[in-house]
């Protein structure tokens, strides 16, 4: 099994309870706020072609779709189980005319070069097997004047925060094969300029707005 197939198979299994954990009352509230901040950061005008890379169960898709009356939003993922839920969510929320879901491995994307006006990726670059390949592909499929917004986790600089971060990071690595400590910022800088950034939870979560170099 390739590394991509392993990720797909893992998320296919998790797709049955992903939303339950992700939307757990009270503790999910900060996460929902960060996600809304990322949609704001896309700075949508209403007619864009947007891609949510690693859309998972498509939590962001309806909110993006409501802001682009004359545009279209794609949700791509490597897991069919997740995509099934993303598609159903768009249908239930009545925005399926502006939402398309597609199985696409972002390490070797099927989309043409310079295709999208805006890219969004939330908690995906710490799960893809090869983040450098994924970032290179994001750079390729984004238009030259486009914007990419990245919401993800990283190691905080503050010593006290590290005490909270390390146990979370280790359990995510062991049980979720998620690499919360990946230096995504550093990897992005090879292909993008980071033009805006915000931090949450003492720097354990960050939001970056990127433009192509």
Binding residues for ligand SAM, rule: CB under 6 A, are 4, 7, 11, 22, 54-56, 59, 77-79, 82, 105-107, 122-124, 127-128
Q: Decide: helix, strand or coil at residue 38.
A: helix
Nearer to ligand SAM, 4 or 203 (CB): 4
* CB 199, CB 205: distance < 8 Å: yes
Nearer to ligand SAM, 44 or 106 (CB): 106
Nearer to ligand SAM, 110 or 193 (CB): 110
C-alpha torsion angle, residues 153, 159, 161, 164 (rounded to 10): 100
Both tokens assigned to 100: 């398309």
Q: Decide: helix, strand or coil at residue 190.
A: coil
Nearer to ligand SAM, 47 or 82 (CB): 82
Q: Shortest approach of ligand SAM to residue 81 CB, angstroms?
A: 8
Q: Shortest approach of ligand SAM to residue 150 CB, angstroms?
A: 11
Q: Shortest approach of ligand SAM to residue 145 CB, angstroms?
A: 24
Q: Shortest approach of ligand SAM to residue 29 CB, angstroms?
A: 15
CA angle 82, 211, 69 (to 5 degrees): 55
Q: Shortest approach of ligand SAM to residue 94 CB, angstroms?
A: 21
Residue of this chain nearest to ligand SAM (CB atom): 56
Q: Shortest approach of ligand SAM to residue 160 CB, angstroms?
A: 26
Both tokens assigned to 128: 């893809």
Nearer to ligand SAM, 70 or 137 (CB): 137
49, containing H or E segment? strand 49-53
Of 34, 65, 18, nearest to 199 (Cα)? 34
Distance, in Å, from the CA atom of 144 to the CA atom of 210, rounded to the nearest integer, reads 11
Nearer to ligand SAM, 77 or 117 (CB): 77
* CB 142, CB 119: distance < 8 Å: yes
């Amino acid at each position: 099994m390739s590394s991509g197939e392993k990720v797909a198979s893992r998320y296919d299994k998790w797709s049955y309870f992903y939303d339950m954990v992700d939307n757990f009352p009270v503790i999910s509230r900060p996460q929902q706020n960060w996600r809304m901040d990322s949609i704001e950061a896309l700075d949508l005008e209403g007619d864009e072609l947007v891609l949510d890379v690693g859309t998972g169960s498509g939590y962001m898709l309806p909110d993006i779709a409501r802001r682009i009356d004359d545009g279209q939003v794609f949700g791509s993922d490597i897991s069919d189980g997740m995509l099934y839920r993303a598609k159903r969510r768009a249908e239930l929320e009545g925005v399926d005319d502006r939402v398309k879901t597609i199985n696409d491995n972002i390490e070797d994307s099927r989309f043409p070069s310079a295709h999208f006006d805006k890219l969004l990726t939330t908690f995906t670059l710490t799960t893809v097997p090869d983040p450098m390949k994924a970032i290179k592909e994001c750079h390729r499929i984004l238009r030259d004047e486009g914007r990419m917004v990245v919401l993800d986790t990283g190691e905080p600089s503050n010593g006290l925060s590290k005490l909270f971060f390390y146990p979370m990071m280790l359990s995510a690595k062991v049980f979720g094969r998620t690499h919360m400590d990946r230096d995504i910022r550093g990897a992005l800088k090879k292909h993008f300029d980071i033009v805006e950034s915000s931090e949450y939870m003492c720097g354990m979560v960050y939001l970056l707005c990127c433009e192509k170099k």
